[in-house]
A and B are shown apart, each in its own frame.
Chain A
Amino acid sequence: MNTSSASSSSGEPLSPAVFHVLLALALHERHGYGIMKQAEHDSDGRIHLGPGTLYGTIKRLIAAGLIEATEERPDPALDDQRRRYYRITPAGQQQLGLELERLDRLVTVARQQRLLPGHKVDALELTNA
């Protein structure tokens, strides 16, 4: 499969699992448990990827060319020889960037309309918008 099968390339948002796996690998190579913990951290504990869901997503992302398994080992102090590490590919970076832009536009629109929490919104402003 090529990257054209990735959801965001067709204009649709990425699934939460795909998005958080790409986001977890955006800056560092990680193994499965590391990806899981980073996703929990990034989502403030709202996203919990089960083992099967995580590796099913990893498999599809590898097939889509968005991430890849790496032979390089990270810092030996942090390395676990038994585990396989993954890193994001340039195509994955592009997909993640597109998704972040999409989310950013949504947040911008929400902010302009003062829909974000912390903004006081009354019925009149919503009607004018």
Chain B
Amino acid sequence: MPSPALSPAQRWYRHLLYLYPASFRREYARELALLFDDLYREASQRSVGQRHLAITQAYVDTLVSAGREQFNNFIRRLTKQEPTMERPSSTSFLARHRLSLTVSATLIIGLGLASLVTDFWGYNGPVAYAKRIITEGLEADGLLPMPDTWDGVTASFVADYVQAKYYGDQRADVGYQSRYALQRHTRVVDGRAYTDPGLEQLVAWTYASMEHNFDPLTCSTQPPVAVRYTLEPVDRAGSAGVVAAFSYAGSSSPNLVRYDLRLDQSQSKPGSWKITQVDCLTLDSQPSRPYVLTGESTMNKRKWTERLNRSFGPTQP
């Protein structure tokens, strides 16, 4: 558009025309340039001050009208309406687009909530899953429903362990959870406090896992852990805790009192033991009376070795 024959003011004006929307420029740029040329020629016959005033007025008018055309073009594209001589109304614009604005706002809020839910369940999902499968296992064994059982506590305990294992760390509140369970489920009978041995065993396993890399899910330790179980009179809920603990360890039976732990030789290696089954002795199953666990069992490496030799023959230490 600029031509060598044009004055700098005319060339600048032609550059300013690029501020208009393309459609307006295609339609009127040539005529605008011709009109400015007429104005410039007219102003050149006046004084220098009047000439500069006329040019400045034309420049300012171009800037203002270009901004107005750009705004009208923007509104027209939004509303897909023909240009009018009326001033655009922001109220009518919002009213016309209330549906799309509402949908957009709903999507934004919905995506925010979905991300929160996803983040929450992505982290806590394994815990909820562990609790559910343990609860379902207890229900399958006929242990639910029963009053004030250990099921929830045990499930939480196991879930904590699973979560710690899943995330590859030792959660600090595992021990707290166990102590809380012990405190909550300690019972007083005839002035004597009784604690569910099943939960004690779980707690012992937890402590053992911290010290000896004990895995309650496979009952394997390294090195072997000598655990002494002193069975004391417990009520039905307490015995259910024992059963829950053993079912969680790999085997369960609601009518067993004395328990035996079997080792899987094939899984054993020097200094490592894997418990594959838990057997208990018969339990007095009169529901009207507290269950009484009888007997005493001391487990240590020597005893396990003897039992192992007796069951499977001599094995490598």
Contact = CB atoms under 8 A, between A and B. Distances in A.
Determine which residue in B28, B35, B61, B65 has the highest number of CB atoms from chain A within 10 A of its CB, and name it: B35
A6 B35 contact: no
Contacts of A113: none
A33 B38 contact: yes
Contacts of A6: 85
A63 B83 contact: yes
Interface in A23-77: 31-33, 36, 48, 50-56, 58-61, 63-64
B39 A51 contact: yes
Contacts of A94: none
Contacts of B85: 1, 5-7, 15, 18, 60-61, 64
B69 interface: yes
Interface in B1-25: 20, 24
A96 B123 CA distance: 74
A18 B85 CA distance: 9
A31 B35 CA distance: 9
Contact of B62 (A51, A61, A63): A51
Interface of chain A: mostly helix, strand, loop or mixed: helix
B179 interface: no
Nearest to B33: A51
Contact of A59 (B27, B61, B62, B63): B27
Nearest to A7: B85
Going nearest first, the 3 A-B pairs with the smallest beta carbon separation are A50-B61, A52-B65, A1-B82
B246 interface: no
A82 interface: yes
Contacts of A64: 84-85
25 contacts: A1-B83, A1-B85, A5-B85, A7-B85, A7-B86, A15-B85, A32-B31, A32-B32, A32-B34, A33-B39, A50-B58, A51-B36, A51-B61, A51-B62, A52-B62, A52-B63, A52-B65, A52-B66, A53-B64, A53-B65, A54-B35, A55-B28, A55-B65, A59-B83, A63-B82
Contact of B68 (A56, A58, A63): A56
Contacts of B24: 59
B34 A60 contact: no
Given A1-B83, A32-B31, A84-B31, 13 more contacts: A7-B86, A15-B85, A18-B85, A32-B35, A33-B35, A33-B38, A33-B39, A50-B57, A52-B66, A55-B32, A56-B65, A82-B30, A83-B31
Interface of A: 1, 5-7, 15, 18, 31-33, 36, 48, 50-56, 58-61, 63-64, 82-84
A5 B34 contact: no
Contacts of A52: 20, 32, 61-66
Contact of B34 (A15, A18, A50, A83): A83
Given A48-B57, A51-B61, A51-B62, A1 B34 contact: no
B60 to A, nearest CB: 8
A83 B31 CA distance: 7
Contacts of B82: 1, 63
Nearest to A12: B86
B249 to A, nearest CB: 83
